[in-house]
């Protein structure tokens, strides 16, 4: 009984630490901070599409502020996962199982995206989580990162519609996660189903949240009224 309680706390403490830190990092929304700092307290959520994200900043505020927003939103995903890896290595220093690092990294990705979309610092009204997802995957599995970027670019070049490219990339996320996780673990000694099922489930949850945030875009795409990309000069 005591051993079970110890093991629960052993895994629960880093889970709570990583979840909380990743969520709070995600809550720092670059588009809101940047527009308030450089546009006389103007809130990006009251401009253009009302979305607190890179595309809306690019359309309404120009390239310079969009670049700052991009760097801010991209870097926080990297930071969250990097901190999760450090915390995991501190708690599981004597364990040689890489899987535990992967599990906590995906948890970090999920919570950072949740923080970006529902930031407690900004009344739980944030962005749509695309950049944060990409940057998190850069550290977790660069192959999935490349797939998401490639899918996004191809769809964007063909359609000139950012939301469509984001939606297709979001749908491809759990698929790519399952395939690469399966290929990584299927022929190894640690070929437990959880080694590719857990990352896939987290990726699926992230994808569902992103698609939910794009529900208005999906409706406009169906109606044929979704705007193509444009840049404020």
Instruction: Provide the domain count of the chain.
Output: 1
Is residue 74 assigned to a domain? Answer: yes
Mean local confidence (pLDDT), 168-188: 88
Is residue 144 assigned to a domain? Answer: yes
Question: Do you know the residue count of the chain?
Answer: 233
Measured between alpha carbons, how far is 208 from 206 in angstroms, rounded to an integer? 5
Measured between alpha carbons, how far is 190 from 76 in angstroms, rounded to an integer? 31
| pLDDT score recorded for residue 2 | 47
Q: Is 50 left (phi over 0), alpha (psi -120 to 50) or beta?
A: left
Measured between alpha carbons, how far is 66 from 79 in angstroms, rounded to an integer? 20
Q: How far is CA 62 from the centre of its chain?
A: 24
| pLDDT score recorded for residue 152 | 95
| pLDDT score recorded for residue 147 | 96
Q: Give the pLDDT confidence of 65-90 residue by residue, as tens digits.
A: 889 999 999 999 999 999 999 998 88
Residue 156 has pLDDT above 90, yes or no: yes
At 61, give phi and psi (nearest 5°).
-115, -15
Helix residue spans in the chain (DSSP H): 2-26, 30-38, 54-61, 63-91, 98-117, 130-140, 142-159, 162-185, 194-213, 215-223
Q: Give the pLDDT confidence of 103-150 residue by residue, as tens digits.
A: 999 999 999 999 999 999 988 998 899 999 999 999 999 999 999 999
At 97, give phi and psi (nearest 5°).
-90, 115
Task: Give this prediction's pTM.
Answer: 0.88
Top-confidence residue, 43 or 232 = 43
- pLDDT band at 232, cuts 50/70/90? low
Mean local confidence (pLDDT), 47-67: 83
Cβ-contact 169, 155 below 8 angstroms: yes
Cβ-contact 3, 73 below 8 angstroms: no
Q: How far is CA 125 from CA 6, 56, 218, in A?
A: 38, 14, 19
Q: Give the pLDDT confidence of 1-53 residue by residue, as tens digits.
A: 544 554 555 678 889 999 999 999 999 999 888 888 876 667 788 887 778 88
Q: Which domain holds residue 73?
A: 2-223
| pLDDT score recorded for residue 43 | 79
Q: Give the pLDDT confidence of 191-222 residue by residue, as tens digits.
A: 677 788 899 999 999 999 999 999 999 999 99
In b/e form, how buried is each residue of 169-188, taking b as 16+ CB within 10 angstroms? bbebbbbbbbebbbebbeee
Is residue 47 assigned to a domain? Answer: yes
Is residue 114 assigned to a domain? Answer: yes
Is residue 230 assigned to a domain? Answer: no
- pLDDT band at 228, cuts 50/70/90? confident
Measured between alpha carbons, how far is 42 from 196 in angstroms, rounded to an integer? 44
Residue 188 has pLDDT above 80, yes or no: no
Is residue 182 assigned to a domain? Answer: yes
Is residue 217 assigned to a domain? Answer: yes
Is residue 31 assigned to a domain? Answer: yes
């Amino acid at each position: 009984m005591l051993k079970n309680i110890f093991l629960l706390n052993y895994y629960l403490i880093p889970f709570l630490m990583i979840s909380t830190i990743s969520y709070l990092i995600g809550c720092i929304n670059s588009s809101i901070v940047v527009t308030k700092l450089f546009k006389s307290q103007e809130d990006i959520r009251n401009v253009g599409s009302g979305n607190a994200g890179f595309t809306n900043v690019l359309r309404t505020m120009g390239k310079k502020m969009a670049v700052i927003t991009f760097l801010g939103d991209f870097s926080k995903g990297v930071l969250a996962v990097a901190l999760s890896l450090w915390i995991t290595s501190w708690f599981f220093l004597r364990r040689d199982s890489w899987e535990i690092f992967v599990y906590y990294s995906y948890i970090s990705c999920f919570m950072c995206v949740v923080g970006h979309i529902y930031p407690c610092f900004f009344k739980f009204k944030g962005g749509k989580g695309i950049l944060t997802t990409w940057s998190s995957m850069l550290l977790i599995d660069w192959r999935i990162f490349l797939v998401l970027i490639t899918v996004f670019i191809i769809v964007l070049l063909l359609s000139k519609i950012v939301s469509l490219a984001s939606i297709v990339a979001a749908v491809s996320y759990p698929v790519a996660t399952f395939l690469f996780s399966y290929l990584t673990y299927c022929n190894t000694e640690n070929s437990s189903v959880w080694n590719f099922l857990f990352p896939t489930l987290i990726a699926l949850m992230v994808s569902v949240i992103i698609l939910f945030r794009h529900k208005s875009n999906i409706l406009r795409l169906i109606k044929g009224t979704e705007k193509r990309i444009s840049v404020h000069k």
